[in-house]
Amino acid sequence: MDTTLQDPLVGQTLDGRYRVEARIAVGGMATVYRAVDTRLDRVLALKVMHPTLATDATFVERFIREAKSVARLDHPNVVQVFDQGAEGAYVYLAMEYIAGCTLRDVLRERGALRPRAALDILEPVLAALGAAHRAGFVHRDMKPENVLIGDDGRVKVADFGLVRAVDTVTSTTGSVLGTVSYLAPEQIEHGTADPRVDVYACGVVLYEMLTGGKPHEGDSPAQVLYKHLHEDVPPPSAAVPGMAYELDELVAEATARNPGVRPHDAVALLARARTARAALSDEQLDAAPPQALAGEHDNAEDRTSVIPRALTMPRPLPVNEDGDGAPADGVHRTSRLTAPPPPVRRRPELRRGPLALVAAVLLVLGLGTGVWYINSGQFTKVPPLLSKTEAEAGDRLRDAGLDVGTVRHAHSDTVERGKVISTDPGVGSRIRKNDSVSLTISDGPRTVKLPDVRGYRLDRARALLEDEGLEPGMVTRAFSEDVPKGYVVSSDPETGTEVRGGSAVALVVSKGRAIDVPDVTGEDIADARQELTDAGLKVEVAAGKVTSPEYDEGQIARQTPAPGSRAAEGDKVTLTVSKGPAMIEVPDVVGDSVDDAKRTLKDAGFEVREDRGLLGLFGDTVKKQSVDGGDTAPEGSTITITIR
């Protein structure tokens, strides 16, 4: 059945500009339509927030933040956002229309993909996320539904609806936003998100492309969340025997439960993906995947959801009467996971009598009178005025028998200067004729002169940027001879630049002055510690000792960072102490030819010295060796052979 026929927006023109033609998809927060921009005569995608959420200021703010965030990303693998607006209960984004399908459609139809195809999809996804991460944003809801594959083969990332600034701690005590199957452990446990949560989600997506299934399955969302917290993502080769080791490693790195072990952002993961691809042969890249069942995917856990934090805590899971952990009525609820409501006591039904019948008749008569009165010409509706000039809006109001009320001005990142941002009452509202409608006119985007944050501590610099309405963006660290460690060296854009309000500002923070790490190998622990401390470095001695043919017991055999590398003041140098060379058995070479004896001893790990004397100048047989065969000597030590 074509459900779009029942959608009230299909066939309507939104905001006097966008003619809605068909419904494409329905998500947890919004519905996406194919529409035509009647002003520019082009097909686009219209993402309209569910009217039930449009009254929630938090969701509206997130929706508008998506438009602002993506509008700053100019990347071929990111779905473009053209416009943002509202009409009545409908808040919308006008976006680039991609004729094709989602990665979820591909996985549902085909199951697992060949490794080459999986990497061909993963790499542009990581390129898009890398651009977002370097611009200072985290997607937070990566999943196959948000990967669009065009009919021309282009891969694009969509739905930045949960986007947040990098280095912004996004923690909530009551709930977690995201999609159950792709949430990183730190999102579940603490509600925090940085670029590594996108890396984790991409690792899960890669696993799904390689195997045709999700790494963590469960009878309920709570079970899936528990597995993300307490179980590693299995290697793809466990599901697909013969899968290349490099792909197992790539998935393991991306989905490490400890975020500190993962690649730090999508750019770093992209480099690892390309390295893995280069290590694979054509046979490995084109290995046929196992046959998977198509069309049986259950998308109950694929919707972006508001997940109560209580579900993320390990505890016994509820079961139904059958003990299978599914809802007793068999219905999967995916939009908001909440505890079942308490039983509601119903009021007893009132018996209908003559008085009720009289009241009903009066109500009908009253309603009939009201309809007649409204239709008698006393009321009208506020005409479409958004994105019109002030003069055009005035003409439309007068044509509708209305007056222009108060005219206010406000900045807008999405509405052109001089055009109407909003009206009061809102467009489409019923209003008495000859009443006035107030207009808010755009002054264009608010511009801010970037404050000078150089020389401030990082936390203070961020606060200064936020005070000016700017977003603290990506933080990188560099050596500086002049700026103390932890203080800002520079910003991008530079100080004094005029930028749009809400723009992300990248910061370079000092690692302190650069120190050339001294070489302390061969020294004893006390001397090595003193030399490194004098250089401004901290010292840590590794717990275990190593055998070393080069260094005696108690001497430093190894150091990290290596000698000559650069470190910041206060950085730690780890020292590994030698327990001396290994003692190994000396081969018996008496009676062997000189060449055979030397070869045998060197293969055993020894150096060899010849002692010929006058009698052995022309000899070729070993008559004696400095350490008898069968005894032990330090690995790498010299064995002298006497030749006669």
HSE (side-chain half, CA atoms, 13 Å) at 338? 6
**Burial tier of 214 (Cβ tally within 10 Å: 0-12, 13-18, 19+):** buried
A 10 A CB-CB count for 587 gives 17
**Burial tier of 94 (Cβ tally within 10 Å: 0-12, 13-18, 19+):** buried
Q: What is the CA radius of gyration of the chain?
A: 35
- β-pair partners for 85: 92
- Which pair of tokens denotes residue 396? 């439309």
- Angle in degrees, 0-180, between the axes of helices 195-211 and 266-279, rounded to the nearest 10: 30
Catalytic-labelled residue, pool 15, 83, 141, 198: 141
Task: Name the residue among 77, 133, 142, 49 with its Cα closest to residue 104.
Answer: 142
Q: Are strands 538-541 and 572-577 parallel, antiparallel or unpaired?
A: parallel
Helix (H, G, I), strand (E, B) or coil at 408: strand
Phi-psi region of 208 (alpha: psi -120 to 50; beta: other; left: phi over 0): alpha
The answer to whether the CB of 43 falls within 8 A of the CB of 97 is yes
Cα 22 to Cα 32: distance, rounded to the nearest angstrom: 9
Check if 2 is active-site.
no
Q: Are strands 488-492 and 13-14 parallel, antiparallel or unpaired?
A: unpaired
Q: Which residue has the tokens 């579940």?
A: 188
Q: Euclidean distance between the first and final Cα of the chain, in Å? A: 101
Cα 272 to Cα 496: distance, rounded to the nearest angstrom: 38
- Which pair of tokens denotes residue 579? 């327990």
Q: Beta strands of 38-191 (E only): which ranges?
A: 42-49, 81-87, 90-95, 100-102, 137-138, 147-150, 155-157, 164-165, 175-178
Q: Beta strands of 517-637 (E only): which ranges?
A: 538-541, 556-560, 566-568, 572-577, 583-585, 607-611, 622-625, 632-634
Cα 364 to Cα 366: distance, rounded to the nearest angstrom: 5
HSE (side-chain half, CA atoms, 13 Å) at 615? 6
Helix (H, G, I), strand (E, B) or coil at 99: coil
Task: Name the residue among 278, 308, 263 with its Cα closest to residue 119.
Answer: 278
A 10 A CB-CB count for 65 gives 19
Secondary structure (H, E, C), 338-361 = CCCCCCCCCCCCCCCCHHHHHHHH
- Which pair of tokens denotes residue 164? 């947040």
Indicate if the alpha-carbon torsion angle 383, 386, 392, 394 is positive or negative. Answer: positive
The residues annotated as belonging to the active site are 141
